[in-house]
Structure 1
Amino acid sequence: MSPLFEALLTAWPRLLLVAAVAFVVAEAWRRLALRRGVLDVPGHRSSHAVATPRGAGIGIAVASGLAIALWAPPGTTRDAVLLGGLVAAIVGLADDFRPLPAAWKFVGQTLAALPVAIALPLAPDGVPFVLPSPLAALASAALVLLFVNAWNFMDGIDGIAAWAAVVVCTSVLAVATGAGAALVAPVAMGLLAACLGFLPLNFPKARVFMGDCGSHALGFGLAVLVLASPRIEIAGVALAASAAFLVDVLGTLVLRARDGERLASAHRRHLYQLATRSGYSHARVTMAYVAWMLASGVGMVMAQQAGREAIAAALVFFATVSAWWWLQRHFTSHLKERGQW
């Protein structure tokens, strides 16, 4: 058993506290949102049919931030993570109250990425090359923006964003051993506990949506897991477990650009949206993504134990892209045949 899994078992009272904070804050927000009309009203591009309170991901943001503040080693890096996470959550919460223009939202996300880009430039041990400091910081900022927007775009059906984060954090905890993982562990455990506390309100039938506040906080925290990893093996597991989300977001972006669509406009072309439009329930699609991401994460962990991480990384990338491409074409063809495209 991983030493960090043992720590997870011994730390259950603290994890339970974090989960409880996430649940209580999210439930309090649900009641406030119902009174104030902070609702996600379904439209023609929505995946839900009932007006639902949004922004309850503030519970995830508060609970995971509390865990990092209490458990992470004090210092400038921890402070940078807390500052960036706070900015990301505030930008998301502002968008939950009143949708921001895409350009302003991106500026806010960039400001959130800057503290971490400076404190954690992309340079895990084991990378065969070293980037100059400015490029390493730029790469870190780009990674944060990728994860934040990936979780933001993929948070469209019940439970999918929170369950995906649970899978990534669990996969990382399986390999994040040693003193160098002092920041990775509290971030992963904080996000894991916060998501588990939030999920009873969001799955299998959503009573609340996490909104941009929650998806920003999750994407930001998961990017930190990659950037704070002391070894490339830990970062590789985080990326492998996240591959289904990342490929879906980037692949859909490419397809929409190819078709001349306005990229900032709302759409329903992500694979999970195609699946629900084809008749599959939110719960089935969410669990399919969980199984997909878990297989990628566990496969990478097992490959590392066998010393085959490079081969496994290539296989995960190839399998994820291939599966996404085939399923996307399958569901698109099915919807067109039914006249629902």
Structure 2
Amino acid sequence: MAIVLSFLIALPVLAWTDAVAWPVALALLGAGGWIAIIGFLDDHGHIAARWRLLAHFGGAIWALFWIGGMAPISLFGLEFNLGWFGYVIGAFYLVWMLNLYNFMDGIDGLASIEAICACVGACLVYWIAGHTSLAIAPLVLAMAVLGFLVWNFPPAKIFMGDAGSGFLGIVLAVMSLYAAWTNPLFLWAWLILLGVFIVDATFTLIRRLLRGDKVYEAHRSHGYQYASRKYGSHRAVTLAITAINLLWLVPVAILVVMQYLDGVAGLVLAYVPLVLLAFKYHAGELEVAGKA
């Protein structure tokens, strides 16, 4: 809750001083606060999966209302306006992002490091593109998470729970959709920056669906979980993913925004090694006793 409260308290101040636009501030306050409450209640009791999902879509709809849905998508130099269908895609995108972030919060420091790397990468992208005003919100979020990471870095003394991970997931996703209204390439940049989480979670989900697993049940079959068991270290995996983010994904995102790479081409380039790593570390495979 420290991440949630510090960021949400800062948002109105930033909006009143015109550092952050009111529409995105209201989107983040409402959706982020609501998802954090649902996560907090689930952390301290239990909310049935169907009601959690309904609440998640409620938060997504609130955010989309304030930011105006999805901006036109840039594909191979052409822009496509999705109209009302953009709201549908946007809602599913926001709900998936908040849930995958929850799924990926399974070892010490990982969800914190991912948020910081993505936010710092986005700030760098905005600066290079000449839209530094967009960097304020992700920069403040990165600072809030950095304060939490002091105690969350492996071996962790505190944990964020569903309240923190779901909050981070939807806030990062809302910021990515909002930035696309300024430049459609910014959405591709965010998808690249969050690639480690998106690929591992999506790859794992697809494998479990194909196997007929109950995907809403807890499991330990994500690639990063297999890797942490193989090497016997949360710290090693968290630091390795930090390196992937900073040395691979951030440079690819910059190339996309500088238009040296098309958004789709950049996404494929960024994701191919991540998919190979998902295979290597058995993401989504059936958990077998004794398997690394």
TM-score scaled to structure 1, two decimals?
A: 0.75
Q: Could you tell me which of 275, 279, 291 is aligned with 1:325?
A: 279
Does structure 1 residue 249 correspond to structure 2 residue 193? Answer: no
Q: Could you tell me which of 250, 257, 260 is aligned with 1:307?
A: 260
Does structure 1 residue 83 correspond to structure 2 residue 1? Answer: no
Q: Give the unaligned 5+ runs of structure 1.
A: 1-57
Q: Is the 8 A contact 1:158 1:204 kept in 2?
A: yes
Does structure 1 residue 164 correspond to structure 2 residue 164? Answer: no
RMSD after superposition? 2.3
Q: CA-to-partner distance for each residue in 1:240-298, whole Å, 9 max, x for gaps?
A: 01111011111111111122211111111001111122233011111112222221122
- Opposite residue 254 of structure 2, the aligned amino acid is V
Question: Structure 1 residue 322: deviation in Å?
Answer: 2.5
Q: Which residue of 2 aligns with 1:296?
A: 249
Q: CA-to-partner distance for each residue in 1:84-120, whole Å, 9 max, x for gaps?
A: 1110111111111112211111111111111112222
2:281 counterpart SS class: helix
How many pairs align? 279
Q: Which residue of 1 aligns with 2:50?
A: 103
2:159 counterpart SS class: coil
Range 263-272 or range 293-302, more displaced: 293-302
The CA distance in 2 between the partners of 1:340 and 1:75, in whole Å, is: 50
Q: Which residue of 2 aligns with 1:13?
A: none
Does structure 1 residue 112 correspond to structure 2 residue 63? Answer: no
Q: Which residue of 2 aligns with 1:131?
A: 82
Q: 1:288 to 1:259 in 2, by over 3 A?
A: same
Q: Is the 8 A contact 1:158 1:202 kept in 2?
A: yes
- Opposite residue 82 of structure 2, the aligned amino acid is L
Q: Could you tell me which of 108, 131, 155 is aligned with 2:105?
A: 155
Aligned residues with identical type, % of pairs:
29
Q: Which residue of 2 aligns with 1:141?
A: 91
Q: Is the 8 A contact 1:150 1:246 kept in 2?
A: yes
Q: Is the 8 A contact 1:169 1:188 kept in 2?
A: yes
Q: 1:89 to 1:251 in 2, by over 3 A?
A: same
1:263 counterpart SS class: coil
Question: Structure 1 residue 80: deviation in Å?
Answer: 2.5
**Which of structures 1 and 2 has the bigger CA Rg?**
1
Q: Could you tell me which of 206, 210, 231 is aligned with 1:279?
A: 231
Q: Give the unaligned 5+ runs of structure 2.
A: none
Q: Is the 8 A contact 1:124 1:231 kept in 2?
A: no
